[in-house]
Structure 1
Amino acid sequence: MSPSDLKYTTHAFERMAERDISRATVEAVVVSGEMTIERGGIRRYSLEGLIVIVDGRDVVTAYFNRNHRRSSSWGPKQRQRRGQRQEYKPQYFKGRGYINVRQQEHYQRQMGG
């Protein structure tokens, strides 16, 4: 099936936008992915953990296979971890307030030489 023959359902567009999957990615999976035919003639294309479901010429949905994803990989619905950079964490000094000592030392070294 050529990518120009594909039509997209409203559901497919919504899921692609939600999961940050582009049309070009879907077309690449359809062209290069492994195809399996299921009940009712529905075709399932899979390539590197991305699944595209096609019914006739209509792309029904696209999603990432959870079993293929590694536990350490970041997903769009997961929160990003905060950096563990202790050197830029401000410290409280009585009478002076919060001061970022290491960052201040870094700037003084830059200014001095």
Structure 2
Amino acid sequence: MKKTTLAIIFSTMALITGCALTTATGQKIDENGLSSIVKGKTTKAELISKLGSPNSRTVMGDGNEMLFWSYSSMKFSMLPFGNKGNISEYSSFSATLNKQGVVQETHFLESNSGGPAAKVGVDIN
């Protein structure tokens, strides 16, 4: 009888609380931290020091280089009452460097399904 009562209590708690799963890739990019990146001055080494290793790197035909950092997360929510649904977050930052390894152009993109509207193609400087 005691085991049955405990099983009912735990089952009821599981139904009420539901469950959630969060998955993330990359390192979160803080837009405020990007404000210290200055076109014509900040170097590749300084970018990597601030942001870590880029997710991808491309050398273009003219010898310039593009570095790309990205972060994404998704929270899957399975709540039986007051379901908030799935929440996703995405941000990316790219920097184009000249042949000397100095920043020439930057772009930041941020999107959050559970918050304010997306900021698309924001040139940070």
Query: Which interval holds the TM-score relative to the shorter structure?
Result: 0.3 to 0.5
Q: Which structure shows the bigger proportion of residues in helix conformation?
A: 1
Higher relative contact order (Cα pairs below 8 Å, separated by 6+ residues): 2
Normalising by the residue count of structure 1, what TM-score does the alignment of the two structures yield? 0.36
Normalising by the residue count of structure 2, what TM-score does the alignment of the two structures yield? 0.33
Structure showing greater radius of gyration is: 1
